[in-house]
Structures are given as structure tokens and as C-alpha cells.
Structure 1
Amino acid sequence: MKLKRIAFATLVAMGATLTVGSAMAQQRVTVNIGSSHPTTNIWAFAMKEVFQPEVDRLLKEGGAKYEVRWRENYGGTLYKFTDTRAAVRDGIVDVGMVGTVWENSAMPLQNVTYFTPFATTNHEQLIEIFDKLNATVPALRDSWAAQNMVPLSSLITDSYDIYATFPVKDMASLKNKRINAPGTSANWLRETGATPVDGALTTYYTNIQTGVTDGALSFASGIGPARVYEVAKNLTRIDIGAMYFGSVAVNKKVFDGLPKEVQDAMLKAGKATSVAHGKHVTKTANAALDTMKAAGLQITDLPQAEKTKWVNGLPNIVAPWLQGTGDAGKQVLKAYFDELRARGVKPLRDWDLQNR
């Protein structure tokens, strides 16, 4: 009797629950999941709505040997956007949204798209590409491992354009204009006559309203919810392109310690999350554009000849990135553009061929 009590206590301590109608115990695995953004945000939405239920479904269909107990920490309850890498790396959460766009020093390879604008506007295709690259390109895979992380699902933005108080009819329209262009995106305005000003979706509205800036480089799925269109009533489609933003990732030490069934479920659920994320961004961007047009947003396209002037007039902005990343950067740049062309994409500038 004493041995039975000890065995039962051990099962309880392990978080195991007995499956009805089966002599086999169902083991419960606790996973802390979270993000710096709320689940209404495009980068966190599919984590809650697709990744979690898909892991649950796969485990159940696989025999229900394991069950995940999710501890949710969305909306910045544990950490802010500046700490997404450290949060997953250090195990503050087991699974989290990692914004590599904010980690150019620690994870520069992941920011290749921000140094190669005018490549593709197809954000759903971009997800497919980076799901593949993160798994198959040694330099990318190793850089994630060096941060104690395993990427599960790629995150992107829809295409960047200019939302401003004026229409961009030609390159001359940009002269002496102050445009919000945070971080690396400031490079996209070099030699255009415009002055880049740092900022974020949370600051664009006030910046434009108060005259600090005349507009912002941004994307519809972000501009719409931020209501920037109320003060920037002109959208000029520049087609600067969709950008790889980061990944939903799992702490590698935690992942390595999980049962294989749970590991496999997470990897498969990550792929489903990527597909859902792409579709959600498409839906969100289209809905935002409908809302903005109904509110009076004027939409025009920069003439192709002017767009060509813009992209060809940019300095070789990927060269400094390559100098900093060396052979690994060359490997990633080549792999990225090879994947674009394999899918029939014709980048407006062959950044890879110019930097062999």
C-alpha cells in the first residue's frame, strides 16, 4: 500500500493525469508561451489562434500520450518588444514571438530583407521562403542555435509604402520632406532628398499631426489599426516590399528536453501557423485599406519610371551589412535571392549579383 501511495504521488508531481478508458497515463507538459504584443497584433495572433490549438490537435490525434498545459503571457505581461530575443533565449517564456528586426547587432543575418528593398511584395511567399531558409541554410540555423532558440514559424510585414500629408508624384516630391523611417528602413530614403526620422507605429500619428514629420514609411496592416491615415491622407504605393520580421521560436534547451511527440507537434504546428499568419496579414491589410479608403485616404501609384529612379539611385546599402556578416551574410543573401527567382520573382534590383 505504501508503494502504491508513493507511485501515485510521483504521477501527481509529474503533472500526469489518467486517461479515461486506458491503463496508460497521459503526461502533462507545461509550456509558457507569450509575446510583447497582444494577440490582436498580426505577429501574435496566430500563436494563440493557430499554434496552440494545432499542437493540442496533433497530440490528441497522435494518441494523446501527452497534453500541453499552456501558460499564456501575451500583451507584454512579462517583457517588452526590446526584450523578445532575451525572453526566449533565457527562458522567461518557452515559446515566444522574436522580433529579429530589433536585434540587428545580435542577429544581423535575419535582417537581410531590410538591406535588400524592392525585392518582393508577396508577403505570403516570403513566409514560405524564410521557413525554408531558417531550416536549411547553415548560417541562419546556427545563428538561431547560438541564441538558444529553434525557429518554428516565420513572421513578416506586408509591403512598405509612403503614408503622408502629400502624394509622391515623382522623386522631386520627396525633397526636404521628413519621413518616419525607423532603424534600417532609413537606408531606403538615401539619395532621395527626404530626411529619415526615427519612430514607430505608436509615434507616427503624433509626429505627423504636430508637423515633426510629413509622413511615414510603413505597411497597411500596421497603419490601419494605428489610425495614422487620419493625419496622413495620402498613400503612395512605392512597393518597397514585404519584410521578414522575425519568428515564433522555442527555447532550444526546453525544446531538446521535450518528448519527441511534443517536438514533432510543435514543428508541424509551426508550419500551420506560418500559413495562417500569411493569410491573416493579407486579410488585415485588405480590411485596413478598405477602412482607410472609406475615411478618405487618397491612393496613388508612384510611376514606374520614378520607382526605377528610386531603386537605382540608392547606394549599395547591402555592402556594409555584408562587411559585418562576412561569408555567412553572402550565404544568406544568395540563398534568399535564389529562392525568390526560383518562384518567378524578379527583384527590381539584383542586390546579390552586385555583391558577389
Structure 2
Amino acid sequence: MLTKKTLIQNVILLAAASMIGCSGPGPKQETISLTVVDGYPTQSLWVREFIDYYIPEVDKRLAATGNHQIKWNQAWGGQIVKTRNVLPGIQKGLGDIGVVTTVFHQDKVPIQAIAYVTPFVTTDPELVARTVDQIAEKFPEMREAWEKYDQVYLTNMVVLDSYQLFSKEPINGLSDLEGLKINGAGTNLRYLQGLGSAGVAGSLVTYFQNINTGVVDAAMLWPEAAISFKMHEVAPYMLQADMGTVNSKAITVNKRAWNKLPAEVQQVLSETAIDYRDHVAKLAVSKGIESLRLYQDNGGKISVMSTEERDQWAKNMLNIAKEWADGLEEKGLPGHEILKFYMDTMRANGQKISRHWDRE
């Protein structure tokens, strides 16, 4: 016969078991598949850091709540889209998220070109990256440009400390540029106007071969990329002209894919993108310094352009910033206001500006 104490204990146990049974298993974690794309290979700084920083950081933040996890399908180095086709590739849904090289698409997302049209202003990657995202917040026209191509803009990226000139033969000053064929990625080809040299369109993945085969004599790129792509083997001379840093990348998400994502995932992707932006900008500085040493260790020789010649280079150029702003105004966009905001920010942060592009 059960005692009163035993009876009470059994009732408590049955009640607890009942509650556990009613609650059932916890909510199932949702797995979301995302395809990430870029045409550049994994030795590119921003691709390497997307793999080593962005993806693990997103995974860690989602794991903190346990509601969602992402299955990443990574397609780098042209597996799905080539370097110039990331924007249309994401638009078509060939990738869900990716790194767009914006210099190739200045006709489609022209506001992204702000740092390209203001050379010889700053070599601070973090400052440029922050300022461009401030422009995206202050001027909605920047995000709206991406929406026309079915993409959601998360952030811009600055992956280089400053453009320099790498060549097959020594270049010590402006006069040595006359008669040379020089590779560039887009708007920076206009930096060469009036110098007697010919700009030849190319991209980071073609510069080595173009110099090696004599298609060009030199290329405009940055020290970290020069080391990553072994440019010292074909271009053992560098002219440190400090043409400036630029926001050459953007992280975007296919709009249809974005709208299907839970709010928590959208938030994590967005917030981590900003941290990734700052992380890469800091690396651009440290890698740039280290790469100058490695370039010399590998036999490269560096000539430093004088401040006077650098200033003269800037002053001899056409005012491409004003042309750019005028072009935006013709499209109904606040080009001159954006240019002034950018230059005001550079001045407020004490940059060594060779030419005040907005004051002419």
C-alpha cells in the first residue's frame, strides 16, 4: 500500500513527465543555402578574407541564437561568373551574394566612383570606406542604383592602400611616362591623360601576362596585389606616386534571395558586412606596408615620387571629378553635393590633398 508521501512524489513525477511530453522537441534549426560569387581567385585579399573572416563570423553570430544556419556554396575564380560579370550574375540569380568590382560598372552604379574621380586626395582605406557608406546613408540614390539591378547593397570595400605604378623598366618621374603603354582598371586610366602615355584597359588577373608579353610596359595597382600576383617577376620597378586609395568593391545580395531571408539572417549579413569592410581596410594598410618590404626582398626596386611632382601630376589632369559630378547632375542625381560631402570629409580628417577637386 502506497504511503501518502510516495503518492505525492508520484503525482509530481507524472506532472513533470506530462509537461515534458506536451512541450515536444525544440524548434528545428533552419538551414539556408546561399551561393557566394566573385570572378577573382582565392589569393585576392578580399576573397581570402570573405572565406576566412566573413563566413565564419556570420556562422558564429547565427549559432548564438541557433535559429538558422547557412550552407555556403562558394564559387570563386570564375567558377560561375568572370571578374566583370559579377553584377549581372547576381542580378540574374547566378549567385545570391557576392563581391562586385564596381570600377567595371560605373555606368550602372556611378556614385560608387567617387574615390576614383578624386585621385591624389587620400591613402587612408578606412576613411574612404566609412565615407562611402556615409554617402549611401545620406544619399538614397546610391542604394537605388543597385535596386535597378535587383540587388541590395550591404557595404562598399576598400581593398588597397594606394595605387602605385609597377613597370618593366625604371620610372623615376613624370617625364619617364611618355610613350609608355600602361594597364589600368577603368577610370584610373584617365590619370594618364596629358602625360604622353597610353592607357590600356585590363584587370588584376591580366596585368602579369600583359607585361610579360609586352602588351603593356607598366600597370597601376597596389603593393599587396603586386605580391599576391607575383608582379615582381615581370615588373621589378615600382614608382611610389601615391595616386590614392579607392572603394573598388561592393557586397551585394540578389534582391529576390534577400526578401526570402528571415529578418535575423538579414541583420547578421548586414552587420557582419560592415565589420568585414573595416577588417579588410585595416588589412589593406598593414599588408601594404608588409608588401613593400616583400617586393624589395624579391628584387623589386622602389622610386619615390617627390611631393612637387605628385602635386603637378594632379594639377595637370583634367578635372575628372567635376566632369563626373556634372554627368550625375544631368541624370538628376546630386553629383556636386556628393562630391562636396566627400571632399569636406577628407579635409575634416586632415588628408594631404594635392587638388581640391570640388573648388574649381
Q: How would you bin the TM-score normalised by the shorter chain?
A: 0.7 to 0.9
Counterpart for residue 139 of structure 2: 137
The alpha carbon displacement at 1:340 in A equals: 1.9
Structure 1 Cα separation of the partners of residues 251 and 134 of structure 2: 14
Map 1:140-179 → 2, pairs under 5 A: 140-156=142-158, 157-179=160-182
The alpha carbon displacement at 1:315 in A equals: 1.4
Structure 2 Cα separation of the partners of residues 268 and 227 of structure 1: 34
The alpha carbon displacement at 1:178 in A equals: 2.6
Structure 2 Cα separation of the partners of residues 276 and 298 of structure 1: 29
Structure 1 Cα separation of the partners of residues 73 and 217 of structure 2: 43
Q: What is the SS of the residue equivalent to 1:249?
A: strand
Counterpart for residue 237 of structure 2: 234
Structure 1 Cα separation of the partners of residues 207 and 96 of structure 2: 33
Counterpart for residue 64 of structure 1: 66
Map 1:309-328 → 2, pairs under 5 A: 309-326=312-329, 327-328=333-334
Q: Is the 8 A contact 2:183 2:201 kept in 1?
A: yes
Which residue of the other structure, out of 25, 44, 47, is the alignment partner of 1:44?
A: 47
Q: Is the 8 A contact 1:168 1:302 kept in 2?
A: no
Q: Which runs of 4+ in 1 moved over 4 A?
A: none
> Does residue 265 in structure 1 map to residue 271 in structure 2?
no
Q: Is the 8 A contact 1:100 1:110 kept in 2?
A: yes
> Does residue 330 in structure 1 map to residue 336 in structure 2?
yes
**RMSD over aligned Cα atoms:** 2.1
Counterpart for residue 92 of structure 2: 90
Structure 1 Cα separation of the partners of residues 229 and 43 of structure 2: 12
Q: Is the 8 A contact 1:153 1:273 kept in 2?
A: no
Which residue of the other structure, out of 280, 285, 292, is the alignment partner of 1:277?
A: 280
Structure 1 Cα separation of the partners of residues 187 and 163 of structure 2: 13
Q: Which amino acid aligns with 2:91?
A: R
Deviates most, 328-337 or 111-120: 328-337
Map 1:343-354 → 2, pairs under 5 A: 343-354=349-360
> Does residue 286 in structure 1 map to residue 289 in structure 2?
yes
Structure 2 Cα separation of the partners of residues 144 and 305 of structure 1: 40
Q: What is the SS of the residue equivalent to 1:255?
A: helix
Structure 2 Cα separation of the partners of residues 250 and 56 of structure 1: 17
Map 1:293-312 → 2, pairs under 5 A: 293-312=296-315
Which runs of 5 or more structure 2 residues have no equivalent in the other structure?
1-23
> Does residue 222 in structure 1 map to residue 228 in structure 2?
no
Change (3 A) 1:180 1:31: closer
Q: Which amino acid aligns with 1:328?
A: P
Counterpart for residue 201 of structure 2: 198
Change (3 A) 1:31 1:200: closer
The alpha carbon displacement at 1:348 in A equals: 1.5
Map 1:72-111 → 2, pairs under 5 A: 72-111=74-113
The alpha carbon displacement at 1:290 in A equals: 2.3
Structure 2 Cα separation of the partners of residues 148 and 214 of structure 1: 39
Q: Which amino acid aligns with 1:64?
A: G
Q: Is the 8 A contact 1:134 1:151 kept in 2?
A: no
Q: What is the SS of the residue equivalent to 2:248?
A: strand
Q: Which amino acid aligns with 1:267?
A: S
Deviates most, 73-82 or 211-220: 211-220
Q: Number of residue pairs matched?
A: 333
Q: Is the 8 A contact 1:238 1:302 kept in 2?
A: yes
Q: Is the 8 A contact 2:125 2:282 kept in 1?
A: no
Change (3 A) 1:165 1:78: closer
Could you list the per-position Cα deviations for residues 100-124 of structure 1 after superposition, in whole angstroms to 9, with x for gaps in the alignment?
1111221122112211111111113
Identity among equivalent pairs (%): 28
Could you list the per-position Cα deviations for residues 217-237 of structure 1 after superposition, in whole angstroms to 9, with x for gaps in the alignment?
221122222222223222111
The alpha carbon displacement at 1:165 in A equals: 3.4
Higher strand share: 1
Say which one has the larger Rg: 2
Deviates most, 116-125 or 172-181: 172-181
Which runs of 5 or more structure 1 residues have no equivalent in the other structure?
1-20
Q: Is the 8 A contact 1:137 1:335 kept in 2?
A: no
Deviates most, 279-288 or 119-128: 279-288
Q: Which amino acid aligns with 1:32?
A: T
Structure 2 Cα separation of the partners of residues 321 and 40 of structure 1: 33
Q: Which amino acid aligns with 2:117?
A: F
Structure 2 Cα separation of the partners of residues 249 and 213 of structure 1: 33
TM-score (norm. length: structure 1): 0.86
The alpha carbon displacement at 1:153 in A equals: 3.3
Q: Which amino acid aligns with 1:105?
A: D
Q: Which amino acid aligns with 1:70?
A: W
